[in-house]
């Protein structure tokens, strides 16, 4: 009987030992599973922080034109980096800090959403302003082009009017006169050269007292003048004249005469007579003295 009791006691102890061993193994397995789950969740949290950091990197602060937003974005970007570094060194078993970092992630993500909305709003405004600027620039260029065109047309019209108002001398007749004011064909007998001409009708020219300048050029190219002080203005320079005369112009055709008193030996050859009125060349005529 006693032996049976001992065997029974041994069996009970063996069963108890087996149960404790089984329970211990089961507990370790559960703990291992919990740790693995915590490591997995930590890794997931790290991945989410890294993705958020990448999103912040996607907004280059140098491309933004809002100083306040640039500063806030830079601060929040650094905050994400700091939290990520802390998460990496935090043990997975530190459940309380992991939970806090998870809440921090939700906060910075909400801030990120706000910044994205602001950035998108600024981007839309910039695009709208860019479009408006292009339109304004286009309109300015059109107005500028139109103004240039009008100025060119005005200039052309001014040139046309200016040309139209230029007086013109025509029908020049050159006569050599002797000392009896009679016509001669010999240079040696000539004491006076008569220049009979016609100033054409021009209703666009302002009427009034005008001055006509006759400029005689000898065959050798020299200008015939009585004094080196006999000068008038033509094309922004002072040039010599031979004879000048004032006359009243009413706009109607006018016939008149100028004389050159010969005090030199006349060269044989082709001379040139140029007439100037109001600072413009009114007519140019070659003539010959042959004898």
Q: Which of 6-15, 53-62, 180-189 has the highest mean pLDDT?
A: 180-189
Whole-angstrom distance, CA of residue 104 vs CA of residue 116:
18
**What is the rounded average pLDDT of the residues 209-233?**
94
Report the C-alpha gap between 268 and 190 in whole angstroms.
12
- What is the mean predicted confidence (pLDDT) over 34-51? 68
Between 68 and 253, name the one with better pLDDT.
253
Question: What pLDDT, on the 0 to 100 scale, is given for residue 165?
Answer: 62
The verdict on domain 169-289 having CATH code 2.60.40.10 is yes
Quickly state the pLDDT bin for 2 (edges 50, 70, 90).
Answer: low
Q: Give the Cα separation of 7 and 172 in Å (integer).
A: 164
Pick from 264, 262, 263, 290: nearest CA to 185: 290
pLDDT category at 150 given cuts 50, 70, 90 is: low
- Residue 212: alpha-carbon gap to chain centroid: 49
Distance CA 261, CA 242 (A): 10
| Burial per residue of 50-61, b for 16 or more beta-carbon CB atoms within 10 angstroms, e otherwise | eebbeebeebee
Asked if residue 162 has pLDDT above 50, the reply is no
Q: How confident is the model at residue 36 (pLDDT cuts 50, 70, 90)?
A: low
Query: How do the domains of the chain map onto residue ranges?
Result: 2-126, 169-289
For the cut 80, the answer to whether the pLDDT of residue 148 exceeds it is no
pLDDT at res. 129? 77
What pLDDT band is residue 51 in, cutting at 50, 70 and 90? confident
What is the per-residue pLDDT for 97?
75
Highest mean pLDDT: which range of 39-53, 148-162, 221-235? 221-235
Average pLDDT value for residue range 75-104: 71
Distance of alpha carbon 26 from the chain centroid: 81
Query: What pLDDT score was predicted for residue 223?
Result: 94
Q: Who has greater pLDDT, 38 or 97?
A: 97
Q: Which residue has better confidence, 23 or 172?
A: 172
Out of 21-30, 134-143, 184-193, 269-278, pick the least confident. 21-30
Whole-structure pTM value? 0.48
pLDDT digits (tens, 9 = 90+) for 264-291: 889 999 999 999 998 899 999 999 998 7
């Amino acid at each position: 009987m006693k032996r049976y009791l001992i065997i029974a006691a041994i069996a009970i102890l063996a069963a108890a030992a087996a149960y404790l061993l089984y329970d211990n193994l089961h507990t370790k397995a559960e703990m291992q599973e919990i740790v693995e789950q915590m490591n997995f969740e930590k890794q997931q949290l790290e991945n989410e922080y890294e993705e958020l950091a990448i999103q912040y990197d996607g907004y280059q602060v140098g491309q933004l034109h809002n100083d306040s937003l640039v500063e806030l974005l830079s601060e929040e970007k650094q905050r994400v980096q700091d939290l990520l570094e802390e998460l990496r060194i935090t043990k997975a078993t530190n459940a309380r800090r992991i939970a806090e970092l998870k809440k921090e992630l939700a906060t910075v993500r909400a801030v990120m959403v706000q910044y994205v909305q602001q950035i998108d709003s600024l981007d839309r405004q910039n695009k709208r302003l860019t479009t408006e600027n292009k339109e304004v620039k286009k309109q300015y260029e059109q107005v500028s082009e139109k103004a240039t065109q009008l100025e060119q047309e005005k200039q052309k019209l001014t040139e046309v009017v200016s040309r139209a108002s230029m007086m013109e001398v025509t029908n020049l007749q050159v006569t050599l006169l002797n000392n009896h004011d009679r016509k001669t064909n010999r240079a040696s007998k000539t004491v006076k050269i008569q220049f009979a001409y016609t100033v054409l009708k021009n209703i666009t020219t302002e009427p009034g007292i005008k001055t006509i300048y006759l400029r005689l050029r000898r065959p050798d190219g020299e200008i015939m003048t009585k004094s080196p002080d006999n000068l008038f203005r033509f094309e922004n320079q002072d040039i010599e004249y031979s004879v000048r005369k004032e006359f009243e112009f009413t706009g109607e055709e006018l016939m008149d005469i100028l004389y050159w008193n010969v005090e030199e030996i006349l060269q044989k050859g082709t001379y040139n007579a140029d007439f100037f009125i109001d600072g413009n060349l009114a007519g140019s005529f070659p003539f010959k003295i042959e004898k």
